[in-house]
Amino acid sequence: MRHPPDPQEPVDEPLEDLLAAVARADRGAYARLYERTSAKLFGVVLRIVRDRGMAEEVLQEVFLGIWRGASSYAAEKARPMTWMITIARNRAIDAVRVRREVLLEPGEDGDDPFAAIPDPFDAAQSFADRDALTRCLDLLEETQRHCILLAYCEGWSREELAARTGKNVNTIKTWLHRGLAALRGCLSS
């Protein structure tokens, strides 16, 4: 049975307002922010760490980071959900690196690697950006494309990529740097 909404808690309270309240150490706002965003952030973390128990631990770290860092949120730089997804993604990648789990190469499990990329924008964002990214990634050399996907979607370190490809770390850094520059150029055209 649903309870009527509390008149002191706006039903459609903007995430920006919740983050501002969290920055002022408002525990009620923090609870509402958790309730509204934890499922999506959990999904982001789970896609990266691929272990439910670990994802739950990482999610706790994510919300601790949000609590501690809410005052650093800048609305002019990113949407609230994008900012929180970035925190979640970074914490998940850190957890994978610590664990040093061997991850599958994109496509080895039969899944489309682009389908697993969480949409950092609200539902209003179309899939046009994802289609453009797919088109631009297809223009890259295959090994470079795989390195970019492994690094930025799966959290592989440069050292892990070097071991996987048999190249040195500096070559991997160059591939990633040039690949990202090519993607930026392609996406901006």
Q: What is the pLDDT of residues 100-117, one digit of tens each?
A: 544 445 455 545 554 555
pLDDT for the residue 111: 54
pLDDT in tens, 68-81: 999 999 989 889 99
pLDDT for the residue 1: 41
pLDDT for the residue 65: 94
pLDDT for the residue 11: 59
| Residue (of 53, 125, 135) closest to 45 by Cα position | 53
Residue 17 or residue 120, greater confidence: 17
Delineate the domains of the chain, giving CATH numbers in brackets: 8-101 (1.10.1740.10), 117-189 (1.10.10.10)
